Amino acid sequence: MEKIKRTDRLAVLSTLLTKNPNVLFSLTNLVEITGAAKSTISEDLAIIKEVLVQFSLGELISIAGAAGGVKYQPVQYSDTTLSFLQELAGFLSVPERIIPGGFVYMTDIIYDPKIVCRIGEIFYTRFKDTHPDYIVTMETKGIPPALMTAQAFSVPLIIIRDASRVTEGSSVSINYISGSTRRIQTMSLSRRALPGGSRVLIIDDFMKGGGTAKGMQELMEEFNAPVIGTGVVVATREPCEKLVQNYYSLLELIAIDELHKEIIIEPAGNKKQ
């Protein structure tokens, strides 16, 4: 292989690592890719590690031993996270987002790749020490933030349906009470989707009463899958007592006034978890 200049090598290595968060690359892998010696690669990685921290772009983690190597973790820092959430709260607080019935229009935010990728990395930072095997969400608006969280963890995403699908084989279904409408609804998950005993992290877009999150937790019990955390993009302040006791929210919907066209959304204090 033709020798690669250091500047080119740094670009290749940094791109490879950041595009594959939490994927372990051995020094042997990186030597094969770049054609450089292990000692040279180690020097390059030290430079990349320093730059990532300097510009708050994440962390490079080295793992010793024969099965070790290096991996990129998309850790978000508290100061930049707060700035991002304040800006996001401002976007969502525009009066034109009020939907009849006391709801906030969030679809454009939830389906914006740049925004939702950052949301996934914030969830990763909060839950990275819990080591989930799967990320679990409820269709449909919970899918984008859950998918980006799964990417950050480098684990599969599992989507719970509101009805069983013939194409997914036999399913486990449960009834649950919606925390917002107080109606009995159904959620379903294919028996093949989740191995028993798997550690799961629940991610959703919105929580009012906590009924959907509670239903997902109860469905996980049917698979003997411990829930190691629950994260939501926006949670309402009221009702204060949710059906789920422990959760982590990025934003808090404090008040919405349809009559006067006012919305108050702020970064969450997260006293619940």
User: What are the extents of the domains in the chain?
Assistant: 6-73, 78-267
Q: The tokens 């990349």 sit on which residue? A: 48
Residue 81 is which amino acid? T
pLDDT (0 to 100) of residue 273 = 47
Q: Which residue has the higher pLDDT, 154 or 241?
A: 154
d(CA 265, CA 105): 13
Mean pLDDT, residues 193-212: 95
Domain 78-267 = CATH 1.10.10.1100: no
pLDDT at 157 over 60: yes
Cα 61 to Cα 21, 58, 82, 125, 156, distances in angstroms: 11, 10, 24, 14, 22
Mean pLDDT, residues 200-212: 95
- How many alpha carbons lie under 13 Å from residue 96 in its C-beta half-sphere? 2
- 179 — phi, psi (to 5°)? -70, -20
Mean pLDDT of the residues in the chain: 93
pLDDT at 128 over 80: yes
Mean pLDDT, residues 139-165: 94
| Helices 78-92 + 113-127 axis angle, to 10 | 130
Q: The tokens 């036999």 sit on which residue? A: 170
Express each pLDDT in 24-77 by its tens digit: 999 999 999 999 999 999 999 999 999 999 999 999 999 988 778 999 999 999
d(CA 220, CA 202): 10
Q: What's the first-to-final CA gap in the chain, in angstroms? A: 52
Paired sense of beta strands 69-73 and 227-236, if any: unpaired
Q: Pseudo-torsion of CA 146, 249, 88, 203, nearest 10°? A: 10
- 68 — phi, psi (to 5°)? -85, -165
DSSP-derived secondary structure for the chain: -PPPPHHHHHHHHHHHHHTSTT--B-HHHHHHHH---HHHHHHHHHHHHHHHHHTT--EEEEE-STT-EEEEE-PPPHHHHHHHHHHHHHHHT-GGGEETTTEE--HHHHT-HHHHHHHHHHHHHHHGGG--SEEEEETTTTHHHHHHHHHHHT--EEEEBSS--GGG-SEEEEEEE-TTT--EEEEEEETTTS-TT--EEEEEEEESSSHHHHHHHHHHHHTT--EEEEEEEEEESSSSS-SSSS-EEEEEEEEEETTTTEEEEEE------
Its pTM stands at: 0.93
Fold annotation for 6-73: Arc Repressor Mutant, subunit A (1.10.10)
- If pLDDT is split at 50, 70 and 90, which confidence band does 270 have? low
d(CA 168, CA 175): 19
